[in-house]
Amino acid sequence: MSEVVNNMEKHRYEIEVDGHVAATYYRFLDGVIVFTHTQVPPELEGKGIGSELVKGALDQVRADRFRARAQCPFVKDWLEKHPDYDDLLRPNL
């Protein structure tokens, strides 16, 4: 599987698979990465790419010692299923 990359110019974390790019878009506000939208091409749907993308993005958020907030329904749902990432949602790390 490909690596999740932070494309800062486009304000998105992205992963390329089989020539297709899936991305989760964000805004950066005062040390908080606010996920706004996730897009997975139809060719990649149902393969777990969206979940891998969000996990990789949140792992990078954690490594960079930022916090996260989800406005994107997909990211919100993913976070609800993975309570081990709750620390990213707390006011202070």
| SS3 readout for 28-62 | EECCEEEEEEEECCHHHCCCCHHHHHHHHHHHHHH
CA atoms within 13 A on the CB side of 4: 19
19-55 pLDDT, tens per residue?
Answer: 999 999 999 988 899 999 999 999 999 999 999 999 9
Residue 91's pLDDT is what?
A: 60
> What predicted TM-score, i.e. pTM, was given to this entire model?
0.92
58 exposure class (CB count in 10 Å sphere: 0-12, 13-18, 19+): buried
Residue 90's pLDDT is what?
A: 67
47-90 pLDDT, tens per residue?
Answer: 999 999 999 999 999 999 999 999 999 999 999 999 999 999 86
All structural domains of the chain, each given as residue ranges with its CATH number in brackets, are: 5-89 (3.40.630.30)
Residue 67 zone, left/alpha/beta (φ > 0; ψ -120 to 50; rest): beta
